[in-house]
Amino acid sequence: MSAFTGLSYLGFSRGRVGGRTWKAFDSSLWNDIPEVFHSATAADVATAMKLAAQATPVLAALSGKAKAAFLRDLATRIEAATPALAARAQQETSLPEARCLGEIGRTMGQLRLFADLLEKGDWTDARLELANPDRKPLPKPDHRSMCRPLGPVAVFCASNFPFAYSVAGGDTASALAAGNPVVVMAHHAHPGTAEIMGGLIVDAVRAAGLPEGTFSMLMGDGKDVGQLLAQHPALRAIGFTGSRTGGRALMDIAAEREVPIPVYAEMSSLNPVVLLEGALAARGETIATGLAASCTLGVGQFCTQPGLLLMVKTPAAEAFVGQLAAHFRNAPEGVMLTPAIQKAYVTVLAARETRGGIQSFSHGKGSGKPGRALPTLLAVGAKTFLSDRKLQAELFGPSSLIVWCDDLAQLSKVLESLEGNLTATLHGTDEEVIAHVALRAQLEALAGRVVINGFPTGVEVSHAIVHGGPYPSLSDGRSTSVGSNAIYRFTRLVCYQNHPDAALPTELQNANPLGLSRLVNGVRTSDAVK
């Protein structure tokens, strides 16, 4: 892209000048980036949603192969634009080049994963219950069902992932794969990155011959544009990655609509780590090295950052904490994503450090430059932790809180007190892991992904991954925002009763022309119906 307009994408057109203006901020240099961006107007929101509504029936009728070709072409366009995307994202987020390049690769991988899924076609969960007119006392009707698209989906981008959870990220990819038009709410912290990526998607839509309303992207630096989008009557679902406050606001808006819609919001997670004595005695230094790296990765600005460390206070545990604290002290300071995120981190951290009953084990040496954050390890007794709900609040940044427990029974009580999480981790010897059946069951009830002898940061994009969990980690703990199963958030089941074969979707026709694996009268088969 040769120049930034700072305007929204309304299908193939651009937004209007007239809304509020703002500039992106470079936290590493602590100054504004020159380009001016324009918040979408109410008319822009209406235009984007009108186009999306018009595109809905066309996309719903699109074949899996056509959608797959579109997603593959988009991935190729992103690959070609990688240098420009990475350079702008580094400027707007202060993330290192390697992180940006890795995230762009992940974004392309997500698109290609869904393309593979669409080409195979089995994801639609086609089911056939064939008619039996001779059944007594009543004839059995012909029932055939499959997953169908919902309609226009709004995607709210994340601050901490300018690619993987942003304009062309997992929410957008899964919604498009399901056959829905998407209206993206770009994140105000990296609008230039969003404008480049939005342009690539618009180009891919044009090249595929898809309807104009397949994709739009709205700019905005406040809450008003997002509220208008969430309230629009043509909207059918929302995907969101961000704070608990923001996610709850969208949930409330969606619930108060005349016709409520689902909100799939990824919000808050402490990602507790339970460390058993046998593991600490056998490989404490190895665990300390890996855990410190996980806690401070990306300046702690990962949704899977292990923010809560639970252990029984034993000599092995105390020795382990000494090793862990040394790694925290030696970890460098980092530039946080935005001034607001950095301010929130240092404010909450200061309150915790000055609170009675909390011990600070480590505090690295900082440069004193603005926008920076220091890795910090804190510790508190289980009784104090259980008496203060504020200590359960997510602290977004490179800080972790140790909870000292008197015994495993008290550790279990701490786990019982926790809200839902994206991940829960257990470190133990093989014998400990196998023996602690109840503990593993507690962790399973707490989180969507249970990790044994590993670290929660690093979310593999795969068919089996679950990136979700009980509230407040996700607004709907039955879903995942990463992996191929994410597509089901933006679908609904439709049953076709007694339809002529030619009037059925291709996936449900007798001949099974797509060669799908289908459930026919309760039996899984790829055969045609005779």
Q: How far apart are CA 207 and CA 333, in angstroms?
A: 45
Assign 450 a pLDDT band (cuts: 50, 70, 90).
very high
Name the burial class of residue 426, with classes exposed (0-12), middle (13-18) and buried (19+) by CB atoms within 10 angstroms of its CB. buried
Return the CATH number of the domain spanning residue range 272-452.
3.40.309.10
Q: In what order do the strands lie in the sheet with 308-312?
A: 358-363, 376-381, 399-405, 308-312, 272-275, 421-427, 447-452
Q: How far apart are CA 475 and CA 452, in angstroms?
A: 25
Q: How far apart are CA 269 and CA 414, in angstroms?
A: 15
pLDDT digits (tens, 9 = 90+) for 182-216: 999 999 999 999 999 999 999 999 999 999 999 99
Say what the pLDDT of residue 366 is. 82
Domain boundaries, the chain: 9-267+480-488, 272-452
Q: How far apart are CA 381 and CA 442, in angstroms?
A: 20
Assign 389 a pLDDT band (cuts: 50, 70, 90).
very high
pLDDT of 154 over the 80 cut:
yes
Contact 424, 398 (CB under 8 A): no
pLDDT of 38 over the 70 cut:
yes
Whole-Å CA distances, 239 to 88, 251, 313, 422: 24, 11, 41, 16
Whole-Å CA distances, 516 to 317, 471, 508, 527: 54, 35, 9, 8
Q: How far apart are CA 38 and CA 219, in angstroms?
A: 7
Could you tell me which of 413, 365, 349 has the C-alpha nearest to residue 386?
413
Q: How far apart are CA 151 and CA 51, in angstroms?
A: 12
Q: pLDDT above 70 covers what percent of the chain? A: 99
Which residues 6+ apart lie within 8 Å of 137 measured at CB?
none
pLDDT of 432 over the 60 cut:
yes
- Cis amide prior to 306 (ω within 30 degrees): no
pLDDT of 309 over the 60 cut:
yes
End-to-end Cα spacing for the chain: 55
Contacts 24+ apart (CB under 8 A), 365-372: 366/333, 367/333, 369/30, 370/27, 370/30, 370/339, 370/342, 371/27, 371/28, 371/30, 371/94, 371/335, 371/336, 371/339, 371/342, 372/333, 372/334, 372/335, 372/336, 372/342
Phi, psi of 468 (to 5 degrees): -175, -175
Whole-Å CA distances, 187 to 92, 160, 191: 11, 10, 6
Could you tell me which of 267, 212, 213 has the C-alpha nearest to residue 235?
213
Phi, psi of 519 (to 5 degrees): -95, 105
Which residues 6+ apart lie within 8 Å of 496 measured at CB?
143, 144, 145, 504, 505, 508
Q: How far apart are CA 212 and CA 224, in angstroms?
A: 25
Q: How far apart are CA 500 and CA 309, in angstroms?
A: 60
The per-residue pLDDT of the chain, averaged, comes to: 97
Contact 157, 185 (CB under 8 A): yes
Say what the pLDDT of residue 420 is. 98
Count Cβ atoms below 10 Å from residue 441 Cβ, excluding itself: 11
SS3 41: coil
Phi, psi of 53 (to 5 degrees): -65, -40
DSSP string, 217-236: EE--SSSHHHHHHHH-TT--
Average pLDDT over residues 175-183: 99
Output DSSP code: residue 297: G
Contact 314, 277 (CB under 8 A): yes
Assign 18 a pLDDT band (cuts: 50, 70, 90).
confident
Q: How far apart are CA 383 and CA 405, in angstroms?
A: 8
Catalytic sites, residue numbers: 266, 303
Which residues 6+ apart lie within 8 Å of 135 measured at CB?
none
Say what the pLDDT of residue 19 is. 85
Average pLDDT over residues 313-324: 98
pLDDT of 390 over the 90 cut:
yes
Single pTM value for the model: 0.96
pLDDT digits (tens, 9 = 90+) for 477-510: 999 999 999 999 999 999 999 999 999 999 999 9
pLDDT digits (tens, 9 = 90+) for 352-381: 999 999 999 866 678 889 999 999 999 999
Fold for the domain defined by 9-267+480-488: Aldehyde Dehydrogenase; Chain A, domain 1 (3.40.605)
Q: Does the fold of domain 272-452 match that of domain 9-267+480-488? A: no
pLDDT of 342 over the 60 cut:
yes
Could you tell me which of 366, 365, 372 has the C-alpha nearest to residue 300?
372
pLDDT of 270 over the 70 cut:
yes
Say what the pLDDT of residue 1 is. 46
- B/e letters for 16-36, b = 16+ CB within 10 Å, e = fewer, are eeebeebbbbbbbeeeebeee
Count Cβ atoms below 10 Å from residue 255 Cβ, excluding itself: 10
Radius of gyration of the chain, Cα coordinates, nearest whole angstrom: 25
Say what the pLDDT of residue 233 is. 98
Contact 270, 394 (CB under 8 A): yes
Which residues 6+ apart lie within 8 Å of 252 measured at CB?
none
- The CA angle 421-343-349, to the nearest 5 degrees, is 60
Q: In what order do the strands lie in the sheet with 263-266?
A: 13-14, 9-10, 215-218, 182-185, 153-156, 237-241, 263-266
Assign 519 a pLDDT band (cuts: 50, 70, 90).
very high
SS3 83: helix
Which segments of 285-389 are extended strands (E)? 308-312, 334-335, 358-363, 372-373, 376-381
